[in-house]
Structure 1
Amino acid sequence: MNPTPLDEHAGAHLDATRQSYDTVAADYARFVEDPGALDPVSRAVLSAFAELVASSGLGPTADVGCGPGKVTAYLTGLGVSAFGIDLSPRMIELARTAHPDLRFEVGSMAALESGDGELGGVLAFYSTHHLPPAELPQVYGEFHRALAPGGHLLLVTRVGEEEHQRRTYGYGDGDPAPFDSYRLPAERIAGLLERAGFAITAQTLQAPEEGAKRPVAGFLARKPAVDDTAP
């Protein structure tokens, strides 16, 4: 199966997100903390995912929406064969400069270049909230298509009550750029993942950090192996 082509509306939305992240890339890379400085629950979830995919031996892990590559490098340090994908060419330039020994590609999570069943893991770490809800089934379907049977997904995102915000973000003293953000209820995200064919193996819900307005949900999910569906 080949990746599903994007419709015109989705393509325009991706172009706008790409342009915004190109604008803020350098300041974003300086502003966003290293994964090792994250809260204990976030680090534990990343570590659990890393252990699952590293022990599976099913294939590499794609960090989709990798930004400047900090989480990709963190996973590699935990023993994962990981590479990064991001819409923003500028983000990928920064990732390659900071981590020249790792692989980074410009691309879209909505149309992955990976073949069917090629990946052992997919990580979407705060990278799906810019997608309109109508596009999530295609994206989750792409994750499922590219994962090998038995492969693992970790999706971490802020959640809310069917909220859509269009805000202008700036990082540090850098230029601001417009972004759309969507906050869905955790149960809706879980339902969409299940309809895409995933089995959710663990779910976390963290209260908002100081200064934040939305809780964070984490979903560890698995593409069922062939043996799982045998009679």
Structure 2
Amino acid sequence: MGAGLVFFLLGLAHGAGDENEGAIARITPIHAGAYILTGAAVAGLFLFAPFAGLALFLTLSAWHFARSDCAFSPITRYAIAGLAVGGSALFRPETTADVFAVITGTDVPINVVRVLALLGLTGVGCALYALMRGLRGFGHAVIALASVALFHPVLAVGLVFLIAHAVPVQQRQMVNYGRRAVWQAVALPSAVAAAGAITMALLVATGQLGMSFAIALGFGMATPHMLTERLER
């Protein structure tokens, strides 16, 4: 599980810059403030209605992965989205339910896991189709499929996020804008986010921060990035 969280940490930089009008730049203080306020609102939702928070996060995740601007074919992106959100429910339903129980603080209805498993099954079908047709990015879809089939849900989703989403997006950014421009844009926000995540993990490990509050903060601060997905694409 710890390794999966590290993969999420490594992928932070892919969304740390402001991409607009054919350029990438560091987010402005106003942008950062709006991000934090939105993240705090979502964290509050996780604290007071954790099941609703989880449903929102999973829905946005599926949409975000499916629209991921990483030069993959649409079918490949649908495969990665389905596997990221529902693959573990398909291959490891009981373990996935246990993870959801930790997140929400209560047992999640089995029908929720079954619905997610159907999404995972769709992802499997799309991944196999992408492989057979040699669609752009099919190798990443195959890696996503192998990850959810072989590993614990947290590790699997962390791998899918990093290898099939964050890294390809950042590679596309570097091709479009150049390495220097990308790192100038994302370095400081990424460092701040990483420091915050590490500090939170240390506080939980030393008993100074409750797990439910840390989970709410983690999911809350991850959500605004998905909400700012460029709608014009």
* Structure 1 length-normalised TM: 0.26
Higher share in strand: 1
TM-score (norm. length: structure 2) = 0.26
Structure with higher RCO (Cα < 8 A, 6+ apart):
2
Structure number with higher helix proportion: 2
